[in-house]
Structure 1
Amino acid sequence: MKRPIALITGASRGIGAATARLLAQRGYDLAVNYQHNAEAAGEVVKLAQAMGARAVALQADVSVESEVVRLFKDVDSQLGNLNALVNNAGIVQPQTRVEWITEERLDVMFRTNVNSAFLCSREAVLRMAIDKGGQGGAIVNVSSAAARLGAPNEYVDYAASKAAMDALTKGLSLEVATQGIRVNAVRPGLIETDIHASGGEPGRVARMAPAIPMQRGGSAHEVATAIAWLLSDEASYITGSFIDAAGGR
């Protein structure tokens, strides 16, 4: 039986890497996208291959249109017809308040977190849509509970970028529902990954844990299981929906 093919953006670390490992275990072949850390992406690929998957590490800055086009062509040539896309690539920047936000910061945030998801979704739909000769497929966007909570005093720009991803999820799901493509999102809460160090506070999860109903941060694997389920046939009648993986917050 032919293995489905999944592309995961930003898959060299954190939630992306955990998703790659889980999908390989569940029978997918994988395109592991990364921007800078070739060594880390290579380790993810080795683990996937050890589980029997065909897996390749593909470098691309998915905030840049020409690199997204190249990335998808590389998937076509090295693995074949795409069945699943996980829009996971995303950044935070150092914590700040709206009164101190600059245009430059907003440009980087929205190009990386929003433009990338639109561009990758476009290329996936062009390959998956039934009316374009595709066989259908599934897209999962990795949003954030911040889209609901606003992230005041820290990451309002990040929260806004994830709210845009939520709008993409809903709108695109309605556009392609007749084309055999399902589009859903997972909204992680406070997850133990190194993204918090990028925001200037590596211990943020521990600080915030008392505010979480479950009194702890989540793991990347716990988010990956939600992503994998939304990609699977078990979620075949689910589109335009959101799973909050946020410990009740």
Structure 2
Amino acid sequence: MTVPYVRYDNDTEAAPVTVERREGPYGEVVLRRRGAGGGAAGEVYEIIANGCFLMDTSDGRSERLLVDAALAALPAGRTDPAVLIGGLGVGFSLAHAAAEPRWGRITVVEREGAVIDWHRTGPLAAISAGALADPRTELLHTDLVAHVRTAGATYDALCLDIDNGPGWTVTEDNGGLYSPTGLAACRARLTPGGVLAVWSAQPSPEFDDALRNAGFDGVRTEEITVARGVPDVVHLAVKAA
């Protein structure tokens, strides 16, 4: 489901300014800037894909929780675990992972060339430049769904944040990631005891059931309270050791 970006009536800041708009193989992606807030230099940047608000730089708590919860759920004593972050977004998850010395290999998968450019040479570099320069980090310009299904590499944790949730996908193709086939592919990419963490803008008991049906153990959710509406959620599941 795709919904248009909506501003609330009590928003008093100026209307957002379009920094760049691109048409790509998956549709339109837009970077916008709005006035004083939590971003660098008092500005907040937001990413809109196909008219659907994805994320902005105003907070980042749930993106950081996505990484922290996955690390905490790994078996005790695992050293230099490898993490796959999909996708790059505004860079909070990557920056947080790179700030944690316990992570070993950090692989980031992002299919939108525009998003990669905004981090390499655009305003989002303020968040991610240090993390992208980290020798542990590898950035792959490819589709996450295809990578999970075809990659030969395995990971100790998959931290996935490419939609507004399993039931609220940005493009129809992403739905395959949350299908039985897609979850089986995620499980195959994990080492024994590895953790799948999936970000969602709303709770989904149905997705928890899908994770159990896909053979995952330890299925649970962690919630992050937000200013308006239902809490953000991180779904967690473990591949049996």
TM-score range, shorter chain: 0.3 to 0.5
Instruction: Calculate the TM-score normalised by the size of structure 2.
Output: 0.47
Alignment TM-score, normalising by the size of structure 1: 0.45
- Of Structure 1 and Structure 2, the greater strand share is in 2
